[in-house]
Structure 1
Amino acid sequence: MKLNTVTTGGPCWVEHGSSDPEAARRFYGELFGWEPEADERPEAGGYTFMKLGGAIAASITPLYGESQPTAWSVSFAVTDADASAARITEAGGSIVVAPMDALDFGRFVIAADQAGAVFGLWQAGRLTGAEVLNVPGALGWVELLTRDPEGARAFYPAVFGWSVNPSEQYTQWGLSGEDFGGMLTMDDRFPPQVPPHWLPYFAVADADVSTFRAGNLGGDVLMAPFSMANGRRIGVLRDPMGAAFGIYAAGPEG
């Protein structure tokens, strides 16, 4: 991801909704070097920021509903959450949680695209979003896994103004010439019960070392690290609580 700061229309936040927030804090603290900073206000509901070198990198929260799975969620920066929610429905998506304020941090929406992949919108208040990107331990890429790639290529540019850089194997999303994410078509390798979803990738210094460390911490390997055509190594892991996430070895450019 070449967006090193929060950019309107780009990914700005990742949140781990966990069945065991304490275990999640331990796992990711050991894996990425994150340090927790809980919002102690009762109305915050156990919300915890995870900091990397003093900068906010992500958050870990309890589950807020019985049907909510333990998973990572990805949010995109917008200037007007209400107007963006309207664009989502116009483009064929749906609103899961209508625009609402998150204390004094900002205003958010939970939505689903035309195929059902869930994502968030974030209109900054006191919290702009992640304070660190594209360094080991921070968000570095976001990937949509979907069974409707053609629908996604129409939906997301209509909502966020993204550019689309397709190839035979992969589609990349961009803003102002800078790619920040991609799209993978879900084929028969994915069980039918796995829904379309957004997957965050975190930058690491060494993908193989991080995979080994995750295993020692109780995680699982969903896709063992491998080298892409450009030489970068990536992998997909699952934490002990059941949430999937990706890792990639950061190069000099992040």
Structure 2
Amino acid sequence: MLTTNYVPGAPVWVDLSTPDIPATAAHYQALFGWEFQSAGPDAGGYGMFVLDGKTVAAVGPCSEEGAASAWTVYFHTPDVDATAKAVEQAGGVVRFGPFDVFDRGRMAGFTDPTGAEFAVWQPGKTKGLDAVNDPNTLCWTELHTTDPEQAKSFYHSVFDWESQDAPMGGFTYTVVSPSGGGQEASQGGIMGLSDEARSAGATAHWLPYFEVADCDAVVAKVSGIGGTVLMGPADLEGVGRMAALRDRYGAAFSVITSASA
């Protein structure tokens, strides 16, 4: 379960790169009730998605013209520079950074050995998201990868994550949690890309999940505001009712009405 009591290796931030910030902000306001707040004139268009006065995600322009819109998951680190070295030693790639974000924190972006992009955040004045697990906030992170075993080894080397495999019919789902956190602190999962997904051109990626009060209502709404339903809604016994979606610019994410919510 995610928490805002951030510890090393835990999800601490999530942001969206998009070619059109105003249109994207309107999309997520309609879907989740988020309000966009600019981070200021020096932030290059970057800003926060705010719900009930709390920062729940962020959004900024695509870094390169023609780049695909995508969500990025950030994990907490007490030392970005040390994490960058650990990533390289474990076979990953440093895509950018490390660098300071004003007085807010220090960050870097990486690609794991299976091709999935992620980032890390060393908190300064910004500790992380203000709310998680509540309706319309981040509640889970999930890696879809071409090589689950290699991914598990990599993230254990970098973050010292604990993992537990759970058979799920025709595949194995690995639940991960911060070191010493146990199952109660589980924060995400790792699963292999299906043959069908690979044939359709899917590559390794991190996927954020947002808790919603009514999965079916969100699914019914997303197509009407320019998004796409990729899968669901579907029930997963003991977990909840979920669906996989794309926003109006193609960024993938999932929503879930948790069984325990």
Shift of 1:154: 0.6
Question: What amino acid sits opposite 1:212 in the alignment?
Answer: A
1:92 aligns with 2:100: no
Question: What amino acid sits opposite 1:173 in the alignment?
Answer: V
CA distance in 2 between counterparts of 1:180 and 1:231 reads: 14
What are the equivalent positions in structure 2 for 1:61-140 lying under 5 Å apart?
61-66=60-65, 68-140=67-139
Question: What amino acid sits opposite 2:36 in the alignment?
Answer: P
SS of 1:191's equivalent in the other structure is helix
Aligned residue number for residue 152 of structure 1 = 151
Aligned residue number for residue 182 of structure 1 = 189
Relative to structure 1, is the Cα distance of residues 231 and 40 closer, same or farther in structure 2, using a 3 angstrom cutoff? Answer: closer
- Which residue, out of 210, 221, 243, partners 1:202? 210
SS of 1:168's equivalent in the other structure is strand
- TM-score, structure 1 normalization: 0.95
CA distance in 2 between counterparts of 1:203 and 1:96 reads: 30
- TM-score, structure 2 normalization: 0.93
Shift of 1:183: 1.2
Shift of 1:251: 4.6
Contact 2:91 2:154 in 1 (8 A): yes
Question: What amino acid sits opposite 1:228 in the alignment?
Answer: L
CA distance in 1 between counterparts of 2:212 and 2:6 reads: 20
Relative to structure 1, is the Cα distance of residues 149 and 66 closer, same or farther in structure 2, using a 3 angstrom cutoff? Answer: same
Contact 1:63 1:70 in 2 (8 A): yes
Cα deviation digits, residues 88-120 of structure 1 (max 9, x gap): 111111100020111221110000111111000
Question: What amino acid sits opposite 2:186 in the alignment?
Answer: D
Shift of 1:205: 0.3
Shift of 1:24: 0.8
Aligned residue number for residue 55 of structure 1 = 54
- Which residue, out of 215, 224, 227, partners 1:219? 227
SS of 2:255's equivalent in the other structure is strand
Aligned residue number for residue 30 of structure 1 = 30
CA distance in 1 between counterparts of 2:111 and 2:100 reads: 19
Question: What amino acid sits opposite 1:46 in the alignment?
Answer: G
CA distance in 2 between counterparts of 1:82 and 1:50 reads: 28
Cα deviation digits, residues 152-182 of structure 1 (max 9, x gap): 1111111111111102231111121111100
SS of 1:167's equivalent in the other structure is strand
Relative to structure 1, is the Cα distance of residues 50 and 231 closer, same or farther in structure 2, using a 3 angstrom cutoff? Answer: closer
Aligned residue number for residue 19 of structure 1 = 19
Cα deviation digits, residues 180-201 of structure 1 (max 9, x gap): 1001211211135322000000
Aligned residue number for residue 45 of structure 1 = 44
- Identity across aligned pairs (percent)? 37
Structure 1 residues not aligned, in runs of 5+: none
CA distance in 2 between counterparts of 1:21 and 1:245 reads: 17
CA distance in 1 between counterparts of 2:2 and 2:105 reads: 25
Relative to structure 1, is the Cα distance of residues 84 and 155 closer, same or farther in structure 2, using a 3 angstrom cutoff? Answer: same
What are the equivalent positions in structure 2 for 1:151-170 lying under 5 Å apart?
151-169=150-168, 170=173
Structure 2 residues not aligned, in runs of 5+: none
Q: Out of 185-194 and 138-147, give the one that drifted further.
A: 185-194
1:247 aligns with 2:255: yes
Shift of 1:125: 1.1
RMSD: 1.4
- Which residue, out of 233, 236, 240, partners 2:241? 233
Shift of 1:7: 2.6
